[in-house]
Amino acid sequence: MLRQTFFLASLLGALNLYLAEDITLQILSGILFLLTLGISLVWPEPLPPPPPPDLWSDAPEKKEREMKTCSNCGKAVDQKWSMCPYCSKRV
């Protein structure tokens, strides 16, 4: 947004340079034109572009825990657990 504003100002400066009859106004307009055009070209975007809306749609599946089934009672337990929370046997 800021870059577009500076670019617009540079266009106005160029227009002033074209329309001005006084040499002082022409110089000022030329400086304005070069300054604002340069800023509009090198100015970094203040904010990164917004993330795509489907960025988080896959997150719940990736956060799904690795599961295994208890060999004693057959219930699903976390992959990292060595003890079954249901029957207190090793899995």
The residue ranges that bind Zn ion (CB under 5 A) are 70, 72-73, 84, 86-87
Locate 75 and state its tokens. 């219930």
Smallest distance, Å, CB 82 to Zn ion? Answer: 12
Region of 74 please: left (phi>0), alpha (psi -120 to 50) or beta: left
Q: Compare residues 38 and 85 and give the one whose CB is closer to Zn ion.
A: 85
Region of 69 please: left (phi>0), alpha (psi -120 to 50) or beta: beta
Smallest distance, Å, CB 64 to Zn ion? Answer: 21
CA distance 91 to 71: 6
Q: Compare residues 18 and 81 and give the one whose CB is closer to Zn ion.
A: 81
Query: CB of 40 within 8 A of CB of 74?
Result: no
Smallest distance, Å, CB 73 to Zn ion? Answer: 3
Q: Compare residues 17 and 91 and give the one whose CB is closer to Zn ion.
A: 91
Compute the chain's Rg from CA coordinates: 32
Q: Compare residues 62 and 80 and give the one whose CB is closer to Zn ion.
A: 80
Smallest distance, Å, CB 63 to Zn ion? Answer: 24
